[in-house]
Amino acid sequence: MSCIRKLRKRTKSQEFVYQEQCKIVAHENGKRIGLEGDPDLQFLLNGGDLLKVKSRSWRKTRYFRLNEDLKTMWQETSKTFKSNSGFSLEDVDSVRYGRQTDGLRKYTDSSVEDRCLSFIFKGRRKNLDLIASSKEEAKKWVSGLEKVMTGMHSLNRQQNSEHWIYNCMRKADKNADNKMSLKELKHFLRQINVEVDDSYAEMLFKKCDTSNSGTLEGSEIKHFYDLLTYREEIDVIYKKYATSNGQMSSADLLNFLQIEQREPVSLDYAQKLIMKYEMDETAKQNKYMSKDGFLMYLNHEDGSIFNPAHKPIYQDMRQPLNHYFISSSHNTYLMEDQLKGPSSTEAYIKALMKSCRCVELDCWDGPNGEPVIYHGHTLTSKVLFRDVIKAIKEYAFKTSQYPVILSLENHCTIEQQKIMAHHLTSILGSALLTQPLGYQMPTTFPGPEELKGHFLIKGKRLNKLDAAFNNNTTEDVDSVSEEDEAAELKEAEQKPKEKTAKKIKLAKELSDLVIYCKSVHFSTFEHSRDNQAFYEMASYKESKAMNLAENSATAFIHHNMDKLSRIYPAGSRTDSSNYNPVPLWNAGCQIVALNFQTPGKEMDLNQARFLPNGKCGYILKPEFMRDPASQFDPKCLTVGPWLQKKTFHVMIISAQQLPKINKDKQSSIVDPQVRVEIYGVPADNASKQTHHIDNNGFNPMWNARFQFTVHVPELALVRFVVEDYDAASHNDLVGLYTLPFTSMQNGYRHVPLLTKRGSLIPSAGLFVHIMVLDAK
């Protein structure tokens, strides 16, 4: 809660005291993230006026400041003191300096370029575009906010937990006297998602109120905090292995690592963990790990369920391009639905910043000779092709250096196709691949490593690739878009006697930019094998692709050993919903395009598929999907290298600090339950769930054990879903986490939790025990 909102209810002396307390809180929080005494942080805490821009005519000065929790921004509104006058920095994706949004480019002049800044929010929330009074002030806002956000992101789970609880305590201290009454204690427990009966609250209060003063303060609050955050399950594990006078020696820790975590490590490694995570200097010197150090280890990435060895790029990136799954977006320009939603460069930026490596551009003739991008024949808004290419150029390689494929759906006339070609070559420059690598006609794709930092154009081409260096005149060719083609094929089924194919002119300038991704029509696998080159690729509507994956999986897998395949959602998905990508990956399809703007299970699976290998947007397919001798069939699991049957034991032990679902209702407490899901080949798909726990989102404990059999681990994904149980209606999502089966670590592990849009919930998590064994 902001200091400013509190000031209205206090006398002058109370205001002064509260302001001083706010400074102390901000100072403590600044220390936590390494910004103690930082002038940029002080600037943010003091705040200032910024001009808020919504249109050419709507511009209003608003006062903004960073709250003392360093996690929320307060902003003046038309109703200055309304309760929701602000936003959380956890909802902010980035802060940009300059006219870097569609709104600022549209509604401001270049003269204010160096005074502009924007808050870019996660999900579908509109950007907050602002103008500062000077260039220096704009830079202070941006650099200060970037420091704070970086500092907050660098906190581990335990530090986030402490930060969250500390600030909840501050909010519960209604009269700001640094003491906690019984009433304030009950309010605090509700804030942290725990509902207890009055007798338990009173018992807890009396246990801590050793001074019998009727309030908790100082060491009593510390005692209350220790009772609250006590982890019984950690205590049990620590005591089991701490055999050296109640402490965990480096030899004890090694036993834990080898027996429970199933890590083939040495004593030297155990000692390095002690040096890394132990906070007590005496314990460090004696090579012991205290319980606090042990919890710190479990809360860091070494104790996470996700294998840290899979975090950087670790796969061979020199295999042919078609040997990789490629993170891909459908109708990338859309922010919402397919019929009337906005088109924006922002959608491209968001996809690229998630390491999407194949984006789609639906190109149509626009006014003033400038081609535009939008969903043709709909009410979706239009964005200039030129602006999209500029945005792609700027953001393509910020999170991954590996190649980006621009999938063109071309509906433009010859004249505007030439303009498209000009924009592509002039804006992308040398990063645009305009001829094959090497000095002779290739017979296979280069690898992602060779194509680093390059853009590839996918589209129609007038001739074969071996004619790339010859001069050819423009000619009539079949250049219908993939989705138009699918619609025409459907129409042809209904009216078989009518000829539906159409031809339009294709500009040589645009055609020549298509090198390794020439769009062609798919007939049969045999026809493709006998008549099409490796660089000629088809796009399939989801129903066609699903049918092939279901009925001709082995042939589809072999087809994808030589060529690229792109899959896109059915046109009937006007709400921008998604299909399940897993069956298409099981068939070896590389470019499985999804609507990135739509959260849900399908995007969770996509995020998980591309979580390892540096989140670079490329994942090497299993060897059995690259070997021409392979006869792998996802539906019929005969003996082969793909069959590595595992028994997966998982115990859902507990959860910590789950977020409140209904934040507006103070009395609303989560009733959590956990579901574990497996996605992979049909034989591996499974789901099991725990019972729900009433009124405890802070530290629920289940100790529920499940067992799964996984036949093809290299294709399996594991999804943990935490929901708020409701007997009368649909359960609400609390948090989730999905990862590849082969990227899981064994043993006692913490599982981070994400929002439905894939953002980390900083202080929340699950605590589980994982054991993967070879099945008999």
The residues annotated with a catalytic role in the active site are 330, 375
DSSP helix/strand/coil, 98: coil
- How far apart, in whole angstroms, are the C-alpha atoms of residue 241 and residue 247? 8
Query: Structure tokens of 410?
Result: 């071309």
Total count of residues recorded for the chain: 776
Query: Structure tokens of 418?
Result: 């030439």
- How far apart, in whole angstroms, are the C-alpha atoms of residue 750 and residue 767? 5
Give the dihedral sign, CA 423/429/430/431.
Answer: negative
- Residue 540 amino acid letter: Y
Which residues, including other chains, have CB under 8 Å from residue 220's CB and lie 6 or more apart? 208, 209, 210, 211
711 DSSP 8-state letter: S
Distances (CA, A) of 358 to 179, 498, 591, 713: 56, 35, 7, 26
Give the dihedral sign, CA 237/240/245/251.
Answer: negative
Residues 293-300: contacts with CB under 8 Å, at least 24 apart: 294/234, 294/238, 294/248, 295/158, 295/231, 295/234, 296/156, 296/158, 297/273, 298/234, 298/748, 298/749, 298/750, 298/767, 299/156, 299/157, 299/158, 299/750, 300/156, 300/157
Distances (CA, A) of 76 to 4, 87, 96, 457, 515: 10, 11, 21, 47, 53
216 DSSP 8-state letter: B
Burial pattern 650-661, b for ≥16 Cβ within 10 A else e, equals bebbbbbbbbbb
- How far apart, in whole angstroms, are the C-alpha atoms of residue 502 and residue 581? 31
CB 688 within 8 Å of CB 676: yes
Helix ranges (DSSP H) in 260-403: 267-277, 281-285, 291-299, 345-353, 385-395
